[in-house]
């Protein structure tokens, strides 16, 4: 029998399309890359509640309000699944959250854009959640068991998010000229930030090669972005809306849509914390956590009292 090193054993499991599970030996870099990514993913779900919560009180009907509440509740749940997955790697949820509050952890930049109209609820579901699904379907095939399992649950729920958003836009586009214009304005503002969600070009992406070998990542940023554009054009056509890119056209030779250059300056500007809503999003999160302190303390005190009583 050939004796393999722990690292070779680890890679053999991954190469065989098997999953790595929490007690397994893993290279430190694998563990750190996963913590960094899962924490950012969890924070994104949690911060992602804010742009939509903004419209719960102003949803046009009770039905749309109920949908929006259900969606925001899902995002909280997604955050929970993901923090749990990260905790299997030896980090604490409360510490990850505290680091987010301190501005030392990031979340997806897309949530640093404001939601200015009701149509944004449709566009976020369709484009933002659509972009998220494109990535998350890939992540269900990732090599780390707890993360991949969390993704399976999340993908099922995200599908509801995307479809309800698209339906919001269908209704607006079938409505008055003003409603359709509101939808078009929303797409104009969200299209490019949605494409930025896929991250820097492969040529500028720092960890692609190692992450692909470890199967933390299975498709590159540019390939996922292309896949998303190819799917979305038809959906925009059906709505009768125009995607705000004069360079967008079908390329027969490549079998894909060509599209224009992304404004990377804006991308890095927002990543570095200077987007329209960066400060507000984190400040709101910190406030919600502080305002809820008395509830958490009361629950802890109640639990201790009951424990003492049942011990007596």
Partner 1 sequence: MTYEVPVAPGEKAEIEETTELSGESWPMWEVFVRAHRGISHVHIGSLHAPDVETALENARDVYTRRGEGVSVWVVPSTEVHAFEPDAAADYVEANEKVYRLATTYEIPEEVGQM
Residues of the shown chain interacting with partner 1 in the complex, contacts defined by CB under 8 A: 23-25, 32, 35-41, 44, 70, 73-74, 77, 80-81, 84, 87, 91-95, 98-99, 102, 104-106, 108, 110, 131-132, 134-135, 139, 150, 153, 156-157, 194, 197-200, 205-207, 211, 217, 221, 224, 267-268, 271-272, 293, 296-297, 299-300, 302-303, 306-307
Please state, as a whole number, how many other Cβ atoms lie within 10 Å of the Cβ of residue 193.
23
Return d(Cα 59, Cα 61) in angstroms, integer: 6
Residue partners of 251: CB distance under 8 A and separation at least 6: 257, 258
Question: Under 8 Å CB-to-CB from 198, ≥6 apart: which residues?
Answer: 131, 134, 135, 221, 222, 224, 225, 228
* Residue entry with tokens 């397994």: 24
- Nearest approach in angstroms of CB 197 to partner 1 is 3
Query: Residue 246 CB, nearest distance to partner 1 (Å)?
Result: 24
Nearer to partner 1, 25 or 250 (CB): 25
CB of 307 to partner 1, least distance (A): 8
Which CB sits closer to partner 1, 110 or 173? 110
In the complex with partner 1, which residue's Cβ is closer, 132 or 187?
132
Nearest-approach distance from CB 204 to partner 1, in angstroms: 9
Q: Which is nearer to partner 1, 66 or 181 (CB)?
A: 66
By beta-carbon proximity to partner 1, the closer residue of 35 and 233 is: 35
Angle between helices 278-291 and 293-311 (to 10 degrees): 30
Dihedral angle, C-alpha 232, 233, 236, 242, nearest 10 °? 130
N-to-C CA span, the chain: 59
- CA separation for the pair 70, 66 (Å, rounded): 6
C-alpha 154: how far from chain center: 10
Q: Which of 76, 211, 54 is nearest to 124 (CA)?
A: 54
Three-state secondary structure call for residue 1: coil
The minimum distance between CB 285 and partner 1, in angstroms, equals 15
Minimum Å gap between C-beta 133 and partner 1 is: 9
Question: Could you tell me the smallest distance in angstroms from the CB atom of residue 264 to partner 1?
Answer: 10
* Cβ closest to partner 1, residue 62 vs residue 293: 293
Residue closer to partner 1, measured from CB, 70 or 116: 70
């Amino acid at each position: 029998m050939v004796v393999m090193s722990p690292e070779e054993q680890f890679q053999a499991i991954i190469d065989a399309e098997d999953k790595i599970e929490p007690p397994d030996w893993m290279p430190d870099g694998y563990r750190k890359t996963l913590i960094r990514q899962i924490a950012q993913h969890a924070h994104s779900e949690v911060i992602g509640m804010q742009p939509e919560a903004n419209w719960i009180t102003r949803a046009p009907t009770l039905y749309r309000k109920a949908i929006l509440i259900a969606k925001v509740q899902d995002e909280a749940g997604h955050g929970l699944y993901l923090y749990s997955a990260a905790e299997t790697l030896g980090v604490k949820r409360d510490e990850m959250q505290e680091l987010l509050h301190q501005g030392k952890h990031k979340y997806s930049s897309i949530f640093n854009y404001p939601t200015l109209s009701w149509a944004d609820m449709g566009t976020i579901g369709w484009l933002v959640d659509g972009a998220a699904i494109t990535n998350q379907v890939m992540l269900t095939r990732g090599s780390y068991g707890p993360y991949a399992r969390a993704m399976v649950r999340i993908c099922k729920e995200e599908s509801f998010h995307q479809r309800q958003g698209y339906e919001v836009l269908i209704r607006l586009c079938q409505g008055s000229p003003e409603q359709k214009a509101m939808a078009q304005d929303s797409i104009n503002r969200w299209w490019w930030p949605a494409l930025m969600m896929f991250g820097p070009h492969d040529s500028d992406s720092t960890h692609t090669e190692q992450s692909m070998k470890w199967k933390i990542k299975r498709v590159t940023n540019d390939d996922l972005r292309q896949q998303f554009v190819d799917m979305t054009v038809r959906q925009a056509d059906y709505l009768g809306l125009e995607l705000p890119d004069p360079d967008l056209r079908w390329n027969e030779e490549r079998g894909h849509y060509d599209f224009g250059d992304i404004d990377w300056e804006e991308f890095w500007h927002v990543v570095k914390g200077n987007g329209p809503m960066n400060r507000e999003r984190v400040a709101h999160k910190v406030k919600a956590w502080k305002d809820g302190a008395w509830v958490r303390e009361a629950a802890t005190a109640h639990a201790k009292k009951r424990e003492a009583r049942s011990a007596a």
